[in-house]
Amino acid sequence: MSGMNTAVLRLIAAALCLSIMGCSAGHPPERGKMIRKPRNIPEQKIPGGPGATAEYVTDCRREFQTCLREVFLEIAERSLAERRDIPPQVMDRAVACYDRFSQVIKGGTNLRRIDVEEALLEGEKRQRHLHHSLGQLADRFSSHGVRFQIAGAGHFDNKILWENGVEAGCGIQTDHDVDLFAYPLMSLTTREYMVPRAGPIAAELVFLDADMMLFSRHGEDPGEAFASAAREIFGDSRDISDEIEGVHLARLYDHHLEIITMRQWSGSELDSLRTAYGVLAVVRGDPHDFTAMISVGPEVDLPVLLREKGEW
């Protein structure tokens, strides 16, 4: 069942729950107790039937995500400028966006106001760690006479082609006009992995550690000087394809393992691989359906808003 249909069914179920049983959105009434509907929440009446309702709900989700992306970008920009903490007006703006979204969606989401607040606080901390680590990398590349210049914060979905939810990233300029893109460590997915065409292909993961993921757009060459410095700074990889059953290729890096396979792997199997090789993430690419995922495992304990990539 598609995410949209699921949301509509949940919305209808919540409406029935409110009208028949009097329960609050997302929470059933206590056994044997009738709970009245709050008077301060106006009824949402959408003309045009179920199709119009589904479209309206989808628009509201999109509006909420756009608002959050703007807020997270502002947080990233403040962090890059070394301005600490989140101003009250920024937090209030995100909460107001959530309140509008929650009023429309009612029982169609388990997201709570506190989830939004926790995600913003965690996001600010993650951006500080990201920019600190990028500053250290810039110094190390500079010692090799190689340009690694932090350019600014932004949303680079359309450049890296990995689905990364609401968190903002950071652009890095290198020699030969080649840009890199960095994000805090998190699980990502793409449907543009190793696509056999001349069009856009998902960016390649260049480096990963506890604070960042660094991407380079597919096919771009920053030059031999950068590549040589990167090998020394990031370390090299080794082929361990013979050690893992059911893979076409497996390469082990300092902090992540990359496997290419058409076999479906469960989350627990990927976690077992991570643990076995002592890495922070497993990158699983499927050359058959051109999907890939970066799995960072359950110990990267993100707030729900940052885990679910907009599927609230």
**172 located within any domain:** yes
Q: Choose one of 56, 88, 109: the last residue of a domain.
A: 109
Mean pLDDT of 59-70: 93
CA dist., res. 254 & res. 257, Å (int): 8
Which of residues 109, 143, 176 is at a domain's end?
Answer: 109
The angle at the Cα of 230, spanning 261 to 162, to the nearest 5 degrees, equals: 45
The predicted model scores a pTM of 0.79
Domain boundaries, position 70 = 3-109
Helix 49-80 to helix 3-16 angle (10° resolution) is 110
Q: Do residues 23 and 131 both lie within one domain?
A: no
| Tens-digit pLDDT profile for residues 150-196 | 999 999 999 999 998 899 999 999 988 889 999 999 999 999 998 87
pLDDT tens for 101-140 read 998 887 678 899 999 999 999 999 999 999 999 999 999 9
Confidence of residue 310 (pLDDT cuts 50, 70, 90): low
The pLDDT mean for the chain works out to 83
* Residue 248 resides in a domain: yes
Least confident of 36-45, 129-138, 166-175, 262-271: 36-45
Q: How many domains does the chain have?
A: 2
Q: Kindly state whether residue 31 falls inside one of the protein's structural domains.
A: yes
pLDDT digits (tens, 9 = 90+) for 287-303: 899 999 999 988 777 88
Residue 52 · residue 46 · CB < 8 Å = yes
Close Cβ partners of 266 (under 8 Å, ≥ 6 residues apart): none
**Is residue 83 included in any domain, yes or no?**
yes
The residues, any chain, with a CB within 8 Å of residue 294's CB and separated by 6 or more, are 162, 186, 187, 188, 189, 205, 213, 256, 281, 282, 283
Most confident among 25-34, 178-187, 301-310 (mean pLDDT): 178-187
Contact 160, 203 (CB under 8 A): yes
Mark whether 263 and 153 lie in a shared domain.
yes
**CB neighbourhood size of 31 (10 A):** 5
Same domain, yes or no: 133 and 271? yes
**From its phi and psi, is residue 26 left (phi > 0), alpha (psi between -120 and 50) or beta?**
left
Same domain, 125 and 83: no
Say yes or no: 259 and 163 in one domain: yes
